[in-house]
């Protein structure tokens, strides 16, 4: 149990800056009280999540949503709040020029503009001390014959190679994939195999990020995790949940058993070892749950799934597997999943000087009432800001 606590205490879960702003669906963004008005206030809210959970020490930025004049000053502000800057997320999907794609666009001018933005993000990594660039492309086509599928892969490879060559010592990029949306006929990076193939060709500084909401229904995500870990190409996660398509709901909300299965493969493959560099990032950003408590709940859900995964009796499991004991092996697995780990995590928090219940402690802190009173005037942050 001591070893399990040590692993859980060392776990780091990164929260996204955009989760603290207003967000919603393509139909409506609902404004909430006390929402940050700039990246500095986003960091202040993220620091609250870390203060009450103890395991969320970094915050991902999204450019240009989090654009500032002085990124070194933003990083200094983060340190003063007790957090750091995590992954830098690029944005090549919200400009009119990108209607037909960004780095795979038929126009060389648009491709140059998009690639220059990616290089700008590496400059921001240098200024903030970030070691990770996260790339997601909405690029694709809606109709057969609209563009050349092979040529688009050539353009993608060219842009990725240029960004890869710009990375400095100790820096990397994570390539994300998405089955569909907004491209409905063919997406240029639609699955983990496409992302993996590009990353393998580029080298060790290119890895795959698994967004748990970006798969077809029924996809065995834990298999993908196991394979990428085995190949040394799992760079990290974007944790969220969905019921039908990509919903960015709180991780573990739709299928906590899936989250447990994923985390077991992480444990089995050594992915909790900091030396592997696997980043556990949230990509939860929806429109009805309160911002800070929603992030706290997601962090707690990942902790609970991790704790259960660590409780799997791997010796008993291996013995049952070797004997071909189907029900015995499944029973070992299910025993761990059905264990209530909340008392263990409450005890761990108390030993770390934290409140046993982060949700209740935040509610009692008065922070929400303070930001509602203080953040009057100005424009609230949200998608695109």
Lowest mean pLDDT among 1-10, 157-166, 169-178: 1-10
pLDDT digits (tens, 9 = 90+) for 47-57: 999 999 999 99
Distance CA 326, CA 291 (A): 43
Domain encompassing residue 193? 2-374
pLDDT digits (tens, 9 = 90+) for 256-305: 999 999 999 999 999 999 999 999 999 988 788 999 999 999 999 999 99
Largest CA distance in the chain: 67
**Contact (CB, 8 A) for 288 and 30:** yes
Q: Is the pLDDT of residue 385 over 60?
A: no
Q: Which structure tokens are listed for 359?
A: 């949700």
Coil, strand or helix: which one is 175?
strand
Q: Is residue 26 part of a domain?
A: yes
pLDDT digits (tens, 9 = 90+) for 318-332: 999 999 999 999 999
Q: Is residue 380 part of a domain?
A: no
Q: What is the pLDDT of residue 2?
A: 62
Q: Is residue 336 part of a domain?
A: yes
- Environment class of 383 (CB within 10 Å of its CB; exposed 0-12, middle 13-18, buried 19+): middle
In which band, very low, low, confident or very high, does the pLDDT at 379 lie, cut at 50, 70 and 90? Answer: confident
Q: Is the pLDDT of residue 34 over 90?
A: yes
Q: Is residue 269 part of a domain?
A: yes
Q: What is the pLDDT of residue 28?
A: 80
Q: Is residue 142 part of a domain?
A: yes
Distance CA 271, CA 353 (A): 27
User: How many distinct structural domains can be found in the chain?
Assistant: 1
Coil, strand or helix: which one is 88?
strand
Characterize the bridge pairing of strands 29-30 and 23-24.
antiparallel
Q: What is the pLDDT of residue 384?
A: 60
pTM, full prediction = 0.95
Q: What is the pLDDT of residue 124?
A: 98
Q: What is the CATH number of the domain that holds 271?
A: 3.20.20.150
Q: Is residue 225 part of a domain?
A: yes
């Amino acid at each position: 149990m001591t070893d399990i606590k040590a692993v859980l205490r060392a776990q780091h879960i990164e929260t996204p800056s955009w989760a603290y702003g207003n967000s919603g669906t393509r139909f409506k963004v609902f404004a909430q009280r006390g929402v940050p008005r700039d990246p500095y206030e986003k960091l202040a809210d993220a620091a609250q999540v870390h203060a009450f959970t103890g395991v969320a020490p970094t915050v991902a930025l999204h450019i240009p949503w989090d654009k500032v004049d002085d990124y070194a000053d933003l990083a200094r502000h983060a340190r003063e709040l007790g957090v750091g800057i995590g992954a830098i997320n690029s944005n090549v999907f919200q400009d009119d020029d990108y209607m037909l794609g960004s780095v795979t666009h038929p126009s060389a001018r648009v491709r140059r503009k998009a690639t220059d933005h990616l290089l700008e993000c590496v400059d921001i990594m240098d200024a903030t001390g970030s070691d990770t660039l996260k790339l997601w492309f909405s690029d694709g086509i809606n109709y057969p014959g609209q563009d050349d599928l092979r040529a688009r892969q050539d353009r993608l490879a060219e842009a990725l190679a240029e960004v890869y060559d710009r990375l400095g010592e100790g820096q990397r990029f994570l390539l994300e994939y998405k089955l569909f949306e907004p491209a409905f006929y063919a997406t240029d990076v639609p699955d983990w195999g496409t992302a993996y193939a590009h990353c393998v060709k580029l080298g060790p500084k290119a890895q795959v990020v698994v967004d748990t909401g970006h798969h077809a229904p029924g996809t065995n995500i834990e298999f993908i995790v196991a394979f990428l870990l085995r190949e040394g190409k799992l760079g990290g996660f974007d944790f969220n949940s969905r019921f039908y398509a990509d919903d960015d709901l709180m991780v573990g909300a739709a299928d906590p058993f899936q989250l447990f299965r994923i985390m077991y493969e992480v444990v089995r493959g050594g992915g909790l070892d900091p030396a592997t560099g696997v980043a556990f990032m949230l990509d939860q950003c929806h429109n009805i749950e309160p911002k800070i408590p929603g992030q706290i709940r997601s962090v707690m859900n990942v902790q609970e799934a991790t704790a259960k995964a660590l409780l799997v009796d791997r010796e008993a499991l291996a013995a049952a597997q070797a004997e071909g004991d189907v029900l015995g092996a499944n029973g070992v697995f299910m025993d761990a999943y059905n264990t209530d780990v909340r008392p263990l995590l409450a005890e761990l928090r108390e030993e770390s000087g934290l409140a046993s219940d982060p949700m209740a402690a935040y509610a009692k802190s008065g922070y929400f009432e303070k930001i509602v009173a203080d953040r009057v005037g100005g424009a609230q942050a949200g998608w695109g800001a």
